[in-house]
């Protein structure tokens, strides 16, 4: 019932669910959830390039100006202009 009454509004927000602050700090890149896929994609607003992140990335946020951070399984993934660095998740002992 909610989507029937507010379908356009809900559809507009679905692409950004799970993304904290979709616009990068330098305002050049946009992070959004691919509704045809199974993860987050980064769009370079200046040249239109798209970077598909790993399957299963459903949440993420920008760190600094151009680094996008997600968690995938037991690792943290840091994306920066097509490069990827992964680190183990910190665990409390």
Ranges of each domain in the chain = 2-88
pTM greater than the 0.75 cutoff? no
Q: What is the pLDDT of residues 14-46, one digit of tens each?
A: 566 667 788 898 999 988 887 776 788 899 999
Does 9 have pLDDT greater than 70? no
Residue 57 to residues 11, 14, 31: CA-CA distances in angstroms? 19, 15, 11
Using an 8 Å Cβ cutoff, are 84 and 52 in contact?
Answer: no
As a whole number of angstroms, the distance between CA 72 and CA 55 comes to 9
Confidence of residue 3 (pLDDT cuts 50, 70, 90): very low
């Amino acid at each position: 019932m909610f989507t029937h009454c507010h379908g356009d509004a809900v559809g507009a927000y679905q692409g950004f669910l799970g993304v904290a602050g979709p616009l990068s700090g330098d305002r050049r890149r946009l992070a959004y959830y691919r509704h045809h896929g199974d993860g987050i994609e980064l769009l370079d607003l200046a040249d239109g390039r798209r970077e598909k992140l790993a399957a299963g990335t459903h949440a993420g946020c920008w760190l600094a100006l151009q680094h996008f951070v997600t968690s995938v399984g037991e690792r943290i993934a840091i994306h920066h202009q097509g490069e990827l660095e992964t680190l183990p998740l910190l665990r409390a002992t």
